[in-house]
Structure 1
């Protein structure tokens, strides 16, 4: 059996959080030599390196598991303190979550607001296709992701489907698609893309041509501004169906034909060894996700 003490796990987490052995030593009020000894003990226990010797140090796959263990211990310790001394003030539990920008902009905050009185939240924005890197590294306790298979040490539950529709402003449509939405027109019309990780628009474009279309691209990495740029005829793009109903009804936006959607299934992944606070957040997010398909 691998025997890693809470002290050793917290030491590794402190190195990653503070960026060096010396900084971790200052934070933990021990000597740098003691830090080195603890890390050697961890590596002896797991039988492989837990840190990449770089500046700043990084985590190996084994190191990620140890840091997740350390973060989970913090949550469980808070639960224990609350159970043993319920009358004592212990402060609010702190949780770090990873949520993609579109979910944060359209539906997720409604659920998180329900737990805001009792839990302190740090929300990291990351694309749903890449959020698991932060979860895997122990930097976050839970994530909204497009990946169903749970990462090691985590559980996964389905939230629903976020449907995206291709839209543009009426003026943009008249300017670029007067003769219809064809592959030739789409190769020339400017497209809005969230950032360089965003491939939603390319997924939709692949339905028009076997070869990759390369229209001019504008990168707008903020959900509200992304939609505003489309409304102001800067380009076309895919927007969440739950965001644009009123725009379509009012004629502020038009669907590009054929308006075939791109569906993205979303999942909630969290540490398997959770806590009461993490369970409360998970339930709130699941309730808010009822607006999804």
Structure 2
């Protein structure tokens, strides 16, 4: 097979991002006909169907495998352009997946110096948000170049490093605790008291209940609030009990806006950073004088930010 067509790979990545030919054409600044032609040419080159023409469209398994290569090639291209000091024709997008609680607490401060420099150097960053147990799937499918996840094992072709531990505690507003839990929270009343849950992927509350009550599983009176910031605000407003990152609610507890329930019970979630290895073990040799690859810099920034914010 000849070398894969770079324009076709960019087309595949745009289709994966936009999920439609029309929006992909707008992203690439070409016509829809050009997008279709480039895709057909790439499919002919590899001899496999890469995209299912549905609404929204979706990638086939061969398409997902090729998407991983397209993402890595775009990242390498961005690094080469930066090292050469030339102006890129387009801003390369570097997508990474993070969990919502990390995004709401330590990820933005960790990445801020890199992003501020990126505004001057012309590279982009996209943060894809999912539950920490599912961000790894985005990496496996080629949708992102790196992820913050609870999975410790690295995929083939990836590297992984531990970031630290996020500790979750149960909190409630003082008024809610006084009204709904005059005798505290225990096995006799937890099923009747509303618990706030981020979304249906979130099992942090179940983990807390298992530890606190010694149960294997329990049916909760759940209220779903799918935003880390809104979740904590809902707890403050008295919507129910929240199991939230201690890092996030620490100032509210100190100010008396929230109270900790069963402080001896804590859910600890170990986080890891995974990224694809680009250009072998390292795209830059130690004595080359070239700056580290952007993806490596993102990993280093996250590791430093996590060390400062999380309990190791």
**Where does residue 70 of structure 1 map in the other structure?**
70
Does the alignment pair 1:228 with 2:233?
yes
Counting matched residue pairs gives: 286
1:140 paired residue among 132, 144, 152:
144
2:260 paired residue among 246, 250, 255:
255
Structure 1 runs of 4+ off > 6 angstroms? 21-25
TM-score (norm 2): 0.81
**Where does residue 310 of structure 2 map in the other structure?**
292
Does the alignment pair 1:242 with 2:259?
no
User: What is the SS of the residue equivalent to 1:183?
Assistant: coil
Using the alignment, how far apart are the partners of 2:136 and 2:269 within structure 1? 16
TM-score (norm 1): 0.85
**Where does residue 105 of structure 1 map in the other structure?**
104
Unpaired runs of at least 5, structure 2 = 119-123, 284-292
**Where does residue 163 of structure 2 map in the other structure?**
159
Q: Would you say the 8 A contact 1:68–1:138 is kept in 2?
A: yes
Using the alignment, how far apart are the partners of 1:267 and 1:144 within structure 2? 6
Matches within 5 A, 1:1-293: 4-7=3-6, 8-19=8-19, 26-27=30-31, 30=34, 32=36, 35-43=39-47, 50-52=50-52, 54-84=54-84, 86=85, 88-90=86-88, 93-119=92-118, 120-207=124-211, 208=213, 210=215, 212-257=217-262, 259-273=264-278, 276-290=293-307, 291-293=309-311
Shift of 1:250: 3.3
Q: Would you say the 8 A contact 1:168–1:253 is kept in 2?
A: yes
Tell me the C-alpha RMSD between the 2 structures: 2.7
Shift of 1:224: 1.5
Q: Assess, with a 3 A threshold, how the Cα gap between structure 1 residues 89 and 101 changes in structure 2: closer, same or farther.
A: same
User: What is the SS of the residue equivalent to 2:188?
Assistant: helix
Q: Assess, with a 3 A threshold, how the Cα gap between structure 1 residues 27 and 285 changes in structure 2: closer, same or farther.
A: farther
Unpaired runs of at least 5, structure 1 = none
Shift of 1:52: 4.5
Shift of 1:286: 1.0
Q: Would you say the 8 A contact 1:22–1:32 is kept in 2?
A: no
